[in-house]
């Protein structure tokens, strides 16, 4: 399809990365963001001396030679102030009274876990070897090797069944699942590929970013503009126009109209479909299928500003679970699990300025307030969030008793916040729920029934920073051609 004018809906990570790839390859790119701030879940906000991330907390596989390093080198993002987490304990999992360290590097990870569970050495060998194999093959489909057959087959396998078949000890199965608040551990649906690829990437190496995730978005915006592209904020796409089976432009803020040869939406697929009016190509059956797909659960976050000098910074993440928690059948309303994530302080400081507590939260918990605008949802909504924050603090202070006395101010958000600021359906944290029983319908491709309307972002195949970055290349391959993308990846690998 000819033409080089591209409109990208949404300036989250996926939209900005697509903008970067296409601008770098000579396309005329315009990125339209409905909010005042770019970044989507990379947005940050400041409260006094504390800078909080909204959805970005840490990344994996960023060491030289690893997958995210390859991609971020292409996007010119490796010169940001990255800080590697402690290699001997980048994650700590606490289940009841028991604590377990996660170490970086496949061999070190194996030895550390085997010291806790010596009778499971053989199972752990198989587990670690499999994760490494998945990570080693991550670029197969982008490089044109094996057509991604290995990867695709694992989307049709059960993560829960794999873990139960490989590991005999029930507590070890819990521990190996214990850093997985960065995905939805849903036993009846979670594909093995999602579980293995995400866990492998963090075992390879784990990193935080001093100064917040918004730096990633700001750097991408600067690069797009330097290459002749545009990024416009407060520019909400309200309508996608189609003529003779192709999209031809968009309405912006119900006022302006912009023409395009290609349109890429990084919004949730259900939201994208809702923007398309009368269409010869996008039939009702497709619209209903996309609208009917299940979404993953959302996330409650307590952003805590700390009193100066009160709480030592910890260069790791802490996952805390009640002893009775069922990690593969999460009941968000019970507050059975909390992730404790520290923001990196200034280099001269050894104490934390702020810390985030994250816990799963379902849309059903907050749905009754969904019809009210931000900031006007009433005292009962505020009280509900305050009670949830208190539940999280009570669970965490068993491990960090000094936390409560160090708290200066708490700011809270719920799935309603994600829904309001990122247009994610039901405020879902990980996009559409992938189902290994039905991968053909739940693991989406960038294509839509309209040939020049494409999708990108976390709802397609993989979520998270690495998953969205991979997806941006798949999306751009539909415009630039697969050979061009293969060339880019091989040059950077």
How confident is residue 220, by pLDDT bands cut at 50, 70 and 90?
A: very high
- pLDDT score at 83: 96
- pLDDT score at 492: 66
- pLDDT score at 348: 75
Are the C-beta atoms of residues 312 and 368 closer than 8 Å to each other? no
Bridge-based pairing of strands 44-47 and 50-53 is: antiparallel
Q: Which of 376-385, 397-406, 480-489 has the lowest mean pLDDT?
A: 480-489
**419 against 237, higher pLDDT:** 237
Across residues 11-19, what is the average pLDDT?
96
Angstrom distance (rounded) from CA 254 to CA 289: 27
- Characterise 101 by phi-psi region: left (phi > 0), alpha (psi -120 to 50), beta (else): beta
Q: Which CATH architecture has domain 5-44+59-75+211-294+432-492?
A: 3-Layer(bba) Sandwich (3.50)
How confident is residue 148, by pLDDT bands cut at 50, 70 and 90?
A: low
At 111, list the tokens.
């030895």
Across residues 30-47, what is the average pLDDT?
91
Strands (E), 167-297: 206-209, 230-232, 237-243, 246-252, 256-259, 262-265
Mean residue pLDDT across the chain: 92
Q: Which of 242, 294, 147 is nearest to 449 (CA)?
A: 242
Core vs surface per residue 114-130: b (16+ CB within 10 A) or e: bebbeebeebbeebbeb
Angstrom distance (rounded) from CA 28 to CA 227: 9
Where does residue 73 rank: exposed (0-12), middle (13-18), buried (19+ CB within 10 A)? middle
Q: Which of 209, 223, 214 is nearest to 80 (CA)?
A: 209
Across residues 363-385, what is the average pLDDT?
90
**pTM for the model:** 0.93
How confident is residue 349, by pLDDT bands cut at 50, 70 and 90?
A: confident
C-alpha count within 13 angstroms, C-beta hemisphere, residue 127: 28
Angstrom distance (rounded) from CA 464 to CA 199: 12
Which SS3 state, helix, strand or coil, does residue 159 take?
A: helix
Across residues 176-180, what is the average pLDDT?
92
Across residues 114-136, what is the average pLDDT?
96
Q: Which of 309, 318, 355 is nearest to 339 (CA)?
A: 318
How confident is residue 407, by pLDDT bands cut at 50, 70 and 90?
A: very high
Start-to-end Cα distance in the chain: 29
- pLDDT score at 145: 57
Percent of residues, the chain, with pLDDT higher than 90: 74
Q: Which of 205, 217, 209 is nearest to 64 (CA)?
A: 205
- pLDDT score at 411: 94
- pLDDT score at 325: 84
Strand order in the sheet with 453-455: 230-232, 28-32, 5-9, 262-265, 453-455
Q: Which residues have C-beta within 8 Å of that of residue 490, sequence separation ≥ 6?
A: 143
Are the C-beta atoms of residues 268 and 425 closer than 8 Å to each other? yes
In the beta sheet, which residues pair with residue 65? none
Are the C-beta atoms of residues 446 and 471 closer than 8 Å to each other? yes
Across residues 12-31, what is the average pLDDT?
96
Q: Which of 357, 358, 336 is nearest to 406 (CA)?
A: 357
* Per-residue pLDDT at 166 exceeds 60: yes
- pLDDT score at 300: 94
- pLDDT score at 150: 61
Across residues 380-393, what is the average pLDDT?
94
Across residues 181-186, what is the average pLDDT?
88
* Per-residue pLDDT at 199 exceeds 60: yes
- pLDDT score at 142: 77
- pLDDT score at 332: 67
* Per-residue pLDDT at 434 exceeds 70: yes
Angstrom distance (rounded) from CA 172 to CA 193: 20
How confident is residue 402, by pLDDT bands cut at 50, 70 and 90?
A: very high
How confident is residue 63, by pLDDT bands cut at 50, 70 and 90?
A: very high
- pLDDT score at 236: 94
For the chain, give every domain's residue range: 5-44+59-75+211-294+432-492, 88-204, 297-429
Are the C-beta atoms of residues 312 and 350 closer than 8 Å to each other? yes
pLDDT digits (tens, 9 = 90+) for 277-287: 888 899 999 99
């Amino acid at each position: 399809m000819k033409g080089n004018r591209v409109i990208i809906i949404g300036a989250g990570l996926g939209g900005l990365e697509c903008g970067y790839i296409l601008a770098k390859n000579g396309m005329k790119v315009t990125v339209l963001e409905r909010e005042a701030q770019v970044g989507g879940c990379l947005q940050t906000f400041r409260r006094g001396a504390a800078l909080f991330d909204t959805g970005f907390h840490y990344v994996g596989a960023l060491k030289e030679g690893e997958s995210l390093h390859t991609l971020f080198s292409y996007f010119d993002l490796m010169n940001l102030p990255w800080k590697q987490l402690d290699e001997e304990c980048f994650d700590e999992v606490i289940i009841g009274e028991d604590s377990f360290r996660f170490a970086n590097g496949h061999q070190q990870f194996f030895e550390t876990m085997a010291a806790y569970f010596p009778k499971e050495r053989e199972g752990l060998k198989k587990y670690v070897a499999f994760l490494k194999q998945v990570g080693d093959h991550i670029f197969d489909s982008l490089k044109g090797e094996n057509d991604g057959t290995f990867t695709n087959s694992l989307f049709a396998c059960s993560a829960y069944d794999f873990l139960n078949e490989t590991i005999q000890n029930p507590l070890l199965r819990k521990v190996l699942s214990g850093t997985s608040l960065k995905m939805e551990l849903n036993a009846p649906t979670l594909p093995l590929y999602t579980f293995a690829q995400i866990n492998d990437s963090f075992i390879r190496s784990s990193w935080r970013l001093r100064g917040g995730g918004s730096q990633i978005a700001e750097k991408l915006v600067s690069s797009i503009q330097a290459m002749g592209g545009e990024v416009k904020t407060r520019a909400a796409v309200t309508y996608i126009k189609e003529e003779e089976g192709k999209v031809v432009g968009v309405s912006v803020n119900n006022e302006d109209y912009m023409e395009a040869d290609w349109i890429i939406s990084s919004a949730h697929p259900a939201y994208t479909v809702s923007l398309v009016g009368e269409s010869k190509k996008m039939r009702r059956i497709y619209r209903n299928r996309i609208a009917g797909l299940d979404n993953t659960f959302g996330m409650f976050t307590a952003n805590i500003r700390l009193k100066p000098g009160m709480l030592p910074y910890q260069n790791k993440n802490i996952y805390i679970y009640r002893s009775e928690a069922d990690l593969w059948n999460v009941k968000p309303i019970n507050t059975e699990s909390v992730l404790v994530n520290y923001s990196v302080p200034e280099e001269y400081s050894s104490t934390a300025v702020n810390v985030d507590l994250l816990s799963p939260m379902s849309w059903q918990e907050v749905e009754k307030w969904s019809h009210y605008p931000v900031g006007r949802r009433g005292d009962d909504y505020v009280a509900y969030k305050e009670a949830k924050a208190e539940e999280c603090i009570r669970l965490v202070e068993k491990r960090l008793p000094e936390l409560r006395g160090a708290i200066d101010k708490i700011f809270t958000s719920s799935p309603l916040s994600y829904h309001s600021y990122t247009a994610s359906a039901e405020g879902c944290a990980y996009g559409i729920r992938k189902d290994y029983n039905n991968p053909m319908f739940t693991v989406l491709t960038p294509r839509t029934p309209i040939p020049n309307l494409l999708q990108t972002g976390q709802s397609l195949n993989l979520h998270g920073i690495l998953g969205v970055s991979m997806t941006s290349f798949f999306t751009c391959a539909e415009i630039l051609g697969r050979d061009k993308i293969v060339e880019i990846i091989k040059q950077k690998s």
